[in-house]
Amino acid sequence: MNYTELGQEILSLVGGRDNVSGLTHCATRLRFNLRDEGKAQTEKLKETPGVLGVVQSGGQYQVIIGNDVNHVYKPIMAICKLDEGDARAQNGEKKGWGSRLIDTITGIFTPVLPAITAAGMLKAVLALCTAFGWLTAADSTYQVLNFMADAAFYFLPVLLANSAAKKFGCNPYIAMLLGGMLLHPNFIAMVTAAKETGEGVSFLGLPVYAASYSSSVIPAILIVLAQSYIEPVADRISPKAIKFFTKPLITALVAGLLGLLVLGPVGYIVATWIADGINALNTYAGWLVPLILGAFFPLMVMTGTHYGIIPIGINNRMTTG
């Protein structure tokens, strides 16, 4: 199969590059954000060789490809030039808040899933090695593989910051810098010392919440969302002659301090509440969660709403292990 030709054909049938405001993919589907779904030729798409079906749901126009979806996705992205994403362009679309929420979650979490999958499979390999007695936790080989697997989870705020920046339409490298601030060894040491001594961390007299943000989900996303609003302001107020220096300075300083003082703590507390709620549900009605997921998951995959479960699962791993 010629994936480039298939991608071009699909792009033409969804209304062309000018009708596409966003595109992601999951394991089997191309998930388009179309400016006008009425321009898409749905029936012709369904009859196109290589296309297994079309679903319109959750604010997305989903073209089902199968396991080869990534090969079709790349040529379409190359034509549309959507690599950096542009949330601002999509904000004008009239969607319900639920559709916008799922679309945002999809756009942020889909790009990082390969890293999480790789880490999970490394953990599975370790589990098999220990089960068959080939390795023990004391072996250096085990420890090397273990930290390789943990890296994706530990540095998750940086990975999410990058994909969130592309979804929110701001600089991904500034975003990764902001995510890195949450994980810097000096900050971790300050938080650890504060917990041990009881002495708080502060900035100009303002308290800095003593939280560990490794493997966290919500704080980095909130900080990058704030960055997407701070960055245009920094661009406007920066003198043209020195904008190259002042724009990133203002963005990183304001968003970084806002993250450490307000948004990071808020995200951490919300994450803890979510984890506590799920744990309580598992404790008092452990049968309910798998029953609900098993019953509704096929429908959730069809509509794209299954992406709403991903941050909850990752968040619980961070808060409860």
* CB neighbour burial string for 182-194, b if at least 16 within 10 angstroms, e if fewer: bbeeebeebbeeb
- The tokens of 172 are what? 């991904």
**Exactly one of 26, 80, 129, 170 is catalytic; which is it?**
26
Alpha helices in 34-171 (DSSP H): 42-47, 69-80, 87-90, 97-109, 113-131, 140-154, 156-168
Residue 170 is a catalytic residue: no
| DSSP assignments along 135-188, one per residue | --TTSHHHHHHHHHHHHHHHTHHHHHHHHHHHHHTS-HHHHHHHHHHTT-HHHH
- What distances in angstroms separate CA 58 from CA 67, 92, 133, 216, one per listed residue? 22, 16, 47, 26
Q: Would you say 235 and 157 are in contact if contact means Cβ atoms under 8 Å apart? A: no
Which residues are annotated as catalytic?
26
